[in-house]
């Protein structure tokens, strides 16, 4: 029985300690092989579909490798695919996502790391209460907060506008152009704020736990050496916590890139992030469905997080596990 | 004792003001305090309050209508279907992802080769957007050209698996995609918990001749209770938020067969211009989170403080 | 006169928990004071209060006559050395030594000068460009001391600085610390739970328990004239033998024995009879041919013998009372044997059983 299964096994051969081909091992490796196939299948199907021409797709064998490999669907998805009347392809969504991603990641990590540091090393009266609210807030469904945030963004946008416009007579008198209406709602800056807010619980927890694990005596020594809040943060804590910043970055880049809900709600069609645009392309009811283009577009959207995932390895795991570690 | 001024000193002998102590830390924490108080507490209370008002296109804080919105909500077919779907999806995805996650973690924990490769493969869907996952599975489950057709082409003519066209089972089509994306994460959590168990436990059970499966069920699982609880809470919180997956994979269809509460809320607020109903529905979502969260918080934190 | 460090009525409470209460302590210029106690006695807490790392609830702290109760740690003129060394891992040794000076905006050439001096005193010159990770435990602790040294401070605070080192290194550094103190003549306050460190290093020892100072005195006083049962029990290894009995008219009575306390110096004249406990250190018990010369003589039954090389520890029974005796390493004693021992009351300690204070 063992012999029959050996050859179909993907399991290990060679110098493995004792009984490498025991029936237990055959079952374990067999199961894991099947499981891996299941997890890889959708990726495989997406890739082969995206490389087929539409006539071949219509033949209806989604598992079959492409007879004739074509990159046309990828080109079309990137630069020609339509959402409604707009036919610029996904490239616009990609760049929108980049413009959303970069400031969101930087600002959210900067703010959360300082908050985590304050919570770990400079506790003040009530700081733990705020932190507890923050962590429990992470469990509140976004739907509960989404509308009031719309109002907050609209109102603060108007507030900022009126403050800025107060300078306009002066600026115009000096020959400069006056400030225009400043919008937070429906703009990239508004979405950046939203991402910063909702990234706060997990990132603050991540940094707080990390900074708490830094020996307290190090912090005390720095205080005796005359370093203050910012001095200790920049000179002592920051240089020794680069790994945790990388973890936070991985967490935020994948999280923000993959966001759909906030993109739909807080931006306008011109500034839709890639995920929203992808959905609009694929699920648009107009025209003939081009499945190969759809799959190319889907893969393009998934590419950034996938590259980060495969490149970061264990750091990704550390990031997602951070949410599970009790504070 | 009274503070006596010794007159020997230039440094203030008085206690500095409480407010200005740690002032830099307090300033630095303002964004966090703002998020906690204004966004998390303030916005939540705002929504709960407005769920009792007749808000339509705009919030109408002065038109108090009591529980009207809730009554309408619970008499609306679309909401009831959403709730039913969430219940089915939630229950199945909890049971399945915990079971699959545990079995996979147990398999990976048996000191196997290629552990990292296998874990990387199982976890990669978790790095993807729900939109990507939804669209990928929408294509695989495509009734005309997808899995069903492929199997029929091989020769099994009567093979039928078309969840995305069948209102009765469409939610299971979403479930398959959800499990595919999320089970790797559960596995990683449980594997971390399993690795936290003292290896001596395994030695002891081997010395006593207890078979591996028995050790798992009677010793390992009970020892992993905290990890299971944490996983349970995180999965539950995720389930209630399910939105993008449904939007991308089925758009709620066929008809309204795969609607979920999160989608219902967004549509009431931003498309149907019925804010009051949207607020009531989102408050119900919050309530369902609290049902999970409060007992957990009580077990996790309440017990310790009293004990 | 001004003390180097003066603590008045210091209170510290975390919420409802009072950690330090009404504590007074004066440390003279150039003194080496050791705060000794078991873990949780408040000794490290007190040190942190002096350093300004913990905000006190009430009371005042003066350093060199200056009220520093609310001053920042860096403004107090103190340098501190920690148990875990607490070196900044990403900075070189030189960076570690100069970090505090840079924060204090000291001119560059002055920094160079002070770093060089500290490196010379501590013999860490060749290590200046290394990172802490590349140093041994002993070297790290030397750098940590150097970091306090360059700051040119009045008072050095040590928080169990030798606890993380292995036994042999600990002895070496202890000797070095003592030499350093002789050389620098700075005030040093040193926290430890190790009584050997305390006895060897200190000019004075403060034995602490439950946030209060039980006894403050020279090592000799602490060892020979413990002020209460706690100090008597805490100091000395193996610890003191205690036997409870009665003190009546200058005689100590236990069971059917009556011991005249000739030569014992009472803290106060004894008028009333009371329940008392006599404490006798195992190393103050004489055996063999010295017994006949001892003022008090007993027979004890040997229960257990622990030969330790340099000496032999004998667990015996005096009547029903367990009694430890420290004998010469070469002593041949067997279990079950009855041996005679001699005790000198002038080296014993008497305590009131109720108040636990020395009589």
DSSP state of A186: B
Three-state SS annotation for chain C = CCCCEEEEEEEEEECCEEEEEEEEEEECCCCEEEEECCCCCCHHHHHHHHHCCCCCCEEEEEECCEECCCCCHHHCCEEEECCCCCCCCCCCHHHHHHHHHHHCCCCHHHHHHHHHHHHHHHCCHHHCCCCHHHCCHHHHHHHHHHHHHCCCCCEEEEECCCCCCCHHHHHHHHHHHHHHHHHHCCEEEEEECCHHHHHHHCCEEEEEECCEEEEEECHHHHHHCCCEHHHHHHCCCCCCEEEEEEEECCEEEECCEEEECCCCCCCCCCCCCEEEEEEECHHHCEEHHHHHHCCEEEEEEEEEEEECCCEEEEEEEECCEEEEEEEECCCCCCCCCEEEEEECHHHCEEEECCCCEEC
Residues of B in contact with A142 (CB under 8 A): 241
| B113 belongs to a structural domain | yes
Buried-exposed string B191-206: b where 16+ CB fall within 10 A, e elsewhere: bbbbeeeeeeebeebe
Q: Which tokens sit at A241?
A: 């916590």
Look at chain B and report how many structural domains it folds into. Answer: 2
Chains touching B by CB (3 or more pairs below 8 Å): A, C
Domain end (from A70, A89, A113) = A70
My answer on whether B184 and B229 are in the same domain is yes
A283 vs C316 pLDDT, higher one: C316
For residue C245, what are the β-bridge partners? C276
- Furthest CA-CA distance within chain A: 93
CA distance C3 to chain B (A): 13
* Whether A229 and A105 share a structural domain: yes
Residues B185 and B297 in one domain: yes
Q: Is A307 exposed, middle or buried (CB count within 10 Å of its CB: 0-12, 13-18, 19+)? A: exposed
B-chain residue closest to A25, CA distance? B112
- CATH number at B144 reads 1.10.3720.10
Neighbors of chain A by Cβ distance (3+ pairs < 8 Å)? B, C
Looking at residue B303, what is its pLDDT?
54
Instruction: Tokens for B204, please give them.
Output: 């002891």
The position carrying tokens 């918990």 is B193
In this structure, the number of other CB atoms found within 10 A of the CB of residue C338 comes to: 10
**In a shared domain, residues A156 and A42:** no
Q: Looking at beta carbons, which residues of chain A come within 8 Å of C52?
A: 223
CA distance B175 to B38: 35
Both B154 and B12 in one domain: the answer is no
B28 with B107, same domain?
no
CB contact under 8 A, B140 and A321: no
**Hey, are the CB atoms on B189 and A321 less than 8 Å from each other?**
yes
Please give the full DSSP string across B22-80, using - where no structure is assigned. Answer: THHHHHHTHHHHHIIIIIIIIIHHHHHHHTTB--SSS--TT-B-TTHHHHHHHH-HHHH
HSE, side-chain direction, 13 A CA sphere, residue A291: 26
Q: In angstroms, what separates the C-alpha of A279 from chain B's closest C-alpha?
A: 6
Alpha-carbon distance B150 to nearest alpha carbon in chain A (angstroms): 5
Inter-chain residue contact B6 with C70, CB threshold 8 Å: no
Cβ C146 vs Cβ C111: under 8 Å: no
Query: Closest by alpha carbon to A30, among A57, A53, A59, A1?
Result: A1
Residue of B nearest to C61 (CA): B13
Residue A10 lies in a domain: no
- C66-67 and C78-81: which strand pairing? unpaired
Domain of residue A116, residue span: 77-322
Q: Which residues of C91-103 are buried (b: 16+ CB within 10 A; e: fewer)?
A: bbbbbbbbbbbbb
For chain A, say whether B140 makes contact (Cβ under 8 Å).
yes
Q: B189 and chain A: CB distance < 8 Å anywhere?
A: yes
- Whether residue B5 is predicted with pLDDT greater than 60 in this model: the reply is no
Same domain, B35 and B147: no
| Strand pairing report for C251-254 and C241-248 | antiparallel
Tens digit of each residue's pLDDT (9 = 90 or more) over C39-90 = 888 899 999 999 999 888 889 999 998 899 888 898 898 999 999 889 999 9
Establish if A252 belongs to a structural domain.
Answer: yes
B98's tokens: 């915990």
In a domain, A94, yes or no: yes
Say if the Cβ atoms of B262 and A143 lie within 8 Å.
Answer: yes
pLDDT at residue C37 is higher than 70: yes
Together in a domain, A100 and A227: yes
Give pLDDT, residue C1.
60
Residue B1 lies in a domain: no
CB contact C48 to A (< 8 Å) = yes
Domain membership flag for residue B59 = no
A86 or B145, higher pLDDT: B145
Angle between helices B275-297 and B68-75 (to 10 degrees): 90
The C-alpha of B113 sits at a distance from chain A's nearest C-alpha, in angstroms, of: 7
The answer to whether C59 contacts B1, with C-beta atoms less than 8 Å apart, is yes
Specify if B130 maps to a domain.
yes
User: Measuring CA to CA, which residue among A278, A240, A243, A275 is closest to residue A261?
Assistant: A275
Contacts for A276 with CB less than 8 Å, ≥ 6 apart? A93, A260, A263, A264, A267, B131
Answer yes or no: are the C-beta atoms of B138 and B180 closer than 8 Å.
no
Confidence of residue B198 (pLDDT cuts 50, 70, 90): confident
Please give the average per-residue pLDDT across B286-293, as a whole number: 87
For residue B14, the model assigns a pLDDT of 67
Instruction: Give pLDDT, residue B307.
Output: 33
- Do A86 and A61 have their domain in common? no
C83 near A CB under 8 A: yes
CATH number at residue A175: 1.10.3720.10
* Closest alpha carbon to A321 in B196, C96, B48: B196
C114 to chain A, any CB pair closer than 8 A? The answer is no
A113 falls within a domain = yes
Strand order in the sheet with C78-81: C78-81, C155-159, C187-192, C32-36, C204-209, C212-217
**A57·B145 Cβ contact <8 A:** yes
Q: Do A66 and A81 belong together in one domain?
A: no
Residue-number span of the structural domain to which B266 is assigned: 72-302
Does residue B145 belong to any structural domain of this protein?
yes
Please report residues of A whose CB lies closer than 8 A to that of B239: none
pLDDT above 70 as % of chain B: 93
Both B46 and B143 in one domain: the answer is: no
Q: What does the mean pLDDT of chain B come to?
A: 85
- B184 and B286 housed in the same domain: yes
Based on the domain organization, do A140 and A166 belong to the same domain? yes
As for the ipTM of the complex, it is 0.86
The pLDDT, as a whole number, for residue A21 is 67
**CA-to-CA distance for A170 and C283, rounded, in angstroms?**
92
Q: How far is CA C130 from CA C119, C127, C145, in A?
A: 13, 5, 16
CB distance from A275 to chain B under 8 Å? yes
Do A49 and A97 fall within a single domain? no
Decide if C75 touches B, using CB distance below 8 A.
yes
Distance from CA of B302 to the nearest CA of C (A): 19
- Residues within 8 A of C (CB atoms), A 208-227 only: 215, 217-218, 220-227
Q: What are the residue ranges in chain A where pLDDT is below 70?
A: 1-21, 323-327
Rounded CA gap, C140 and A218, in Å? Answer: 13
Total domain count, chain A: 2
Angle, alpha carbons B182-B185-B190 (nearest 5°): 130
Q: How confident is the model at residue B67, as a pLDDT? A: 87
Residue B67 domain flag:
no
Same-domain pairing of B111 and B194 = yes
Residues A292 and A50: beta-carbon distance below 8 Å: yes
Set of chain C residues whose Cβ sits within 8 Å of the Cβ of A226:
72-74, 100, 103-104
- Radius of gyration of chain B measured on its C-alpha atoms: 26
Could you read off the pLDDT of B30-51 as tens digits, one per residue?
A: 999 999 999 999 999 999 999 9
- Is B41 part of any domain? yes
Residues ≥6 apart with Cβ < 8 Å to C185: C30
pLDDT at residue A284, rounded to an integer: 80
* B227 contacts A62? CB cut-off 8 A: no
- A-chain CB neighbours of B266 within 8 Å are 143, 146, 261, 264-265
C67 with B8: Cβ contact below 8 A = yes
Indicate whether A45 and A163 sit together in one domain.
Answer: no
Q: Do C67 and B9 touch (CB under 8 A)?
A: yes
Of C55, C58, C66, the CB nearest to B8: C66
d(CA B33, CA A139): 17
A5 within some domain: no
Of residues A327 and B242, which shows the higher confidence score? B242
Q: Are residues B79 and B46 in the same domain?
A: no
Do A26 and A125 belong to one domain? no
A118 shares a domain with A65 = no
**Distance separating the N- and C-terminal Cα atoms of chain B:** 35
Q: Is A83 helix (H, G, I), strand (E, B) or coil?
A: strand
Question: Does A95 share its domain with A162?
Answer: yes
> Tokens standing for C55?
């905000």
Question: Does A128 reside within a domain?
Answer: yes
Question: Which of B37, B139, B145 shows the shortest C-beta gap to A60?
Answer: B145
Nearest CA-CA partner of B69 in B57, B56, B80, B58:
B56
- Chain C: residue whose CA lies nearest to A220: C53
> What confidence score (pLDDT) does residue A324 get?
59
> What is the phi/psi pair of residue C226, to 5°?
-60, 135
Cα C104 to Cα C93: distance, rounded to the nearest angstrom: 18
Cβ <8 Å between C80 and A231: no
CA angle A78, A83, A89 (to 5 degrees): 15
Beta carbons within 8 Å of B287's beta carbon, 6+ residues apart: none
Gap between the Cα atoms of B300 and B226, Å rounded: 9
List, for residues C221-251, the tens digit of each pLDDT value: 999 999 999 999 999 888 999 999 988 888 8
Query: Is residue A86 helix, strand or coil?
Result: strand
Residue B60 lies in a domain: no
Are residues B8 and C70, on separate chains, in Cβ contact within 8 Å?
Answer: no
Dihedral sign, CA of C57, C60, C62, C67?
positive
CB interface of A with B, residues 213-272, below 8 Å? 228-230, 254, 257-261, 264-265
B29 and B103 housed in the same domain: no
3-state SS assignment for residue A267: strand
Q: Are residues A146 and A26 in the same domain?
A: no
For residues B34 and B77, membership in a common domain is answered with no
Distance from CA of A220 to the nearest CA of C (A): 7
The burial class, CB within 10 Å (0-12 / 13-18 / 19+), for C127 is buried
CB C263 within 8 A of CB C306: no
Residue B293, pLDDT > 90, answer: no
Span B94-118, average pLDDT: 89
Same domain assignment for residues B219 and B118 = yes
3-state helix, strand, coil in chain A (%, to 5): 70, 0, 30
Q: Among candidates A245, A243, A241, A224, which has minimal Cα distance to A233?
A: A241
Closest-CA distance, A215 to chain C, in angstroms, reads 8
Determine the Cα–Cα distance for residues C44 and C66; give it in Å rounded to an integer.
22
Asked if B8's CB is within 8 angstroms of C65's CB, the reply is yes
């Amino acid at each position: 029985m063992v012999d029959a299964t050996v050859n179909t096994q993907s399991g290990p051969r060679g110098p493995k300690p004792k009984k490498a081909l025991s029936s237990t091992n055959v079952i374990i490796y067999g199961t894991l092989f099947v499981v891996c196939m299941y997890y890889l299948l959708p990726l495989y199907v997406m890739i082969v579909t995206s490389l087929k021409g539409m006539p071949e797709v219509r033949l209806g064998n989604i598992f079959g490798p492409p007879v004739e490999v074509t990159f046309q669907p990828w080109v079309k998805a990137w630069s020609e695919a339509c959402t409604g009347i707009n036919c610029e392809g996904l490239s616009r969504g990609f760049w929108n996502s980049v413009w959303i991603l970069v400031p969101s990641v930087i600002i959210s990590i900067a703010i959360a790391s300082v908050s985590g540091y304050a919570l770990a090393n400079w506790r003040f009266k009530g700081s733990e209460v705020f932190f507890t609210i923050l962590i429990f807030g992470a469990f509140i469904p976004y739907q509960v907060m989404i509308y009031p945030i719309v109002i907050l963004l609209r109102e603060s946008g108007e507030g900022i506008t009126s403050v800025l416009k107060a300078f306009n007579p002066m600026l115009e008198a000096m020959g400069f152009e006056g400030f225009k209406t400043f919008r937070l709602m429906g703009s990239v800056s508004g979405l950046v704020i939203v991402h910063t807010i909702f990234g706060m619980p997990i990132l603050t927890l991540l940094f707080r736990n990390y900074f708490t694990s830094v020996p307290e005596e190090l912090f005390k020594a720095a205080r005796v050496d005359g370093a203050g809040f910012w001095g200790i943060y920049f000179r002592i804590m920051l240089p020794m916590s680069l790994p945790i910043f990388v973890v936070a970055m991985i967490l935020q880049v994948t999280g923000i890139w993959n966001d759909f809900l906030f993109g739909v709600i807080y931006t306008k069609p011109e500034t839709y992030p890639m995920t929203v645009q992808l959905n609009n392309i694929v699920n648009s009811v107009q025209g003939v469905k081009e499945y190969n283009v759809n799959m190319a577009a889907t893969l393009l959207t998934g590419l950034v997080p996938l590259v980060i995932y495969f490149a970061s390895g264990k750091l990704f795991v550390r990031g997602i596990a951070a949410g599970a570690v009790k504070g | 004792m009274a503070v006596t001024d010794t007159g020997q000193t230039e440094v203030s002998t008085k206690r500095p003001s409480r407010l200005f102590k740690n002032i830099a830390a307090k300033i630095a924490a303002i964004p966090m305090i703002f998020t906690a108080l204004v966004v998390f507490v303030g916005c939540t209370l705002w929504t709960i309050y407005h769920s009792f008002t007749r808000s339509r296109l705009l919030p109408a804080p002065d038109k108090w209508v009591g529980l009207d919105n809730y009554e309408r909500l619970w008499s609306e077919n679309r909401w009831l279907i959403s709730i039913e779907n969430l219940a089915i999806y939630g229950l199945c995805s909890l049971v399945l992802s915990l079971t699959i996650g545990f079995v996979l973690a147990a398999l990976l924990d048996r000191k196997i080769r290629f552990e990292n490769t296998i874990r990387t493969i199982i976890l990669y869907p978790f790095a993807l957007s729900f939109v990507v996952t939804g669209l990928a599975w929408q294509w695989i489950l495509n009734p005309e050209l997808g899995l069903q057709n492929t199997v029929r082409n091989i020769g099994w003519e009567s093979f039928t698996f078309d969840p995305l066209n069948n209102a009765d089972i469409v939610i299971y089509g979403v479930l398959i995609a959800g499990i595919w994306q999320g089970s790797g994460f559960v596995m990683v959590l449980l594997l971390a918990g399993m690795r936290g168990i003292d290896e001596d436990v395994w030695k002891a059970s081997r010395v006593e001749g207890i078979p591996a499966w028995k050790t798992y069920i009677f010793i390992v699982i009970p020892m992993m209770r905290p990890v299971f609880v944490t996983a349970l809470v995180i999965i539950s919180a995720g389930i209630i938020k399910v939105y993008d997956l449904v939007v991308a994979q089925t758009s709620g269809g066929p008809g309204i067969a795969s609607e979920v509460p999160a989608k219902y809320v967004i549509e009431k607020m931003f498309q149907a211009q019925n804010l009051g109903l949207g607020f009531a529905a989102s408050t119900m979502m919050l309530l369902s989170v609290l049902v999970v969260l409060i007992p957990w918080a009580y077990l996790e934190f309440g017990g310790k403080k009293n004990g | 006169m001004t003390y180097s460090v003066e603590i008045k009525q210091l209170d510290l409470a975390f919420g409802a928990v009072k950690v330090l209460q009404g504590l007074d302590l004066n440390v003279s210029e150039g003194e080496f004071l050791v705060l000794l106690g078991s873990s949780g006695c408040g000794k490290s807490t007190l040190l942190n209060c002096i350093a300004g790392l913990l905000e006190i609830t009430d009371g005042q702290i003066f350093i060199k006559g200056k009220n520093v109760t609310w001053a920042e740690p860096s403004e107090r003129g103190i340098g501190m050395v920690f148990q875990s060394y607490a070196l900044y891992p990403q900075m070189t040794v030189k960076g570690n030594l100069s970090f505090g000076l840079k924060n204090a905006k000291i001119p560059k050439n002055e920094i160079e000068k002070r770093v060089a001096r500290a490196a010379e005193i501590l013999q860490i010159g060749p290590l200046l460009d290394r990172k802490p990770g590349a140093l041994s435990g002993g070297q790290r602790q030397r750098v940590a001391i150097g970091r306090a040294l360059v700051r040119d401070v009045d008072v050095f605070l040590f928080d169990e600085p030798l606890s993380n080192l292995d036994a042999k290194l600990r002895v070496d550094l202890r000797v070095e610390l003592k030499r350093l103190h002789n050389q620098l003549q700075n005030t040093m306050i040193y926290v430890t739970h190790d009584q050997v460190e305390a006895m060897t290093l200190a000019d004075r020892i403060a034995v602490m328990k439950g946030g209060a100072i039980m006894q403050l005195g020279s090592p000799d006083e602490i060892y020979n004239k413990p002020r209460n049962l706690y100090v008597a029990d805490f100091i000395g290894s193996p610890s003191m033998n205690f036997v409870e009995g009665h003190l009546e008219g200058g005689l100590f009575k236990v069971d059917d024995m009556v011991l005249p306390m000739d030569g014992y110096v009472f803290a106060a004249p004894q008028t009333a009879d009371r329940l008392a406990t006599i404490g006798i250190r195992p190393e103050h018990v004489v055996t063999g041919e010295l017994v006949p010369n001892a003022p008090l003589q007993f027979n004890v039954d040997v229960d257990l013998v622990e030969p330790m090389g340099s000496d032999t520890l004998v667990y015996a029974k005096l009547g029903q009372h367990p009694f430890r005796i420290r004998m010469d390493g070469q002593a041949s004693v067997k279990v079950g044997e009855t041996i005679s021992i001699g005790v000198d009351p002038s080296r014993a300690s008497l305590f009131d059983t109720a108040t636990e204070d020395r009589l």
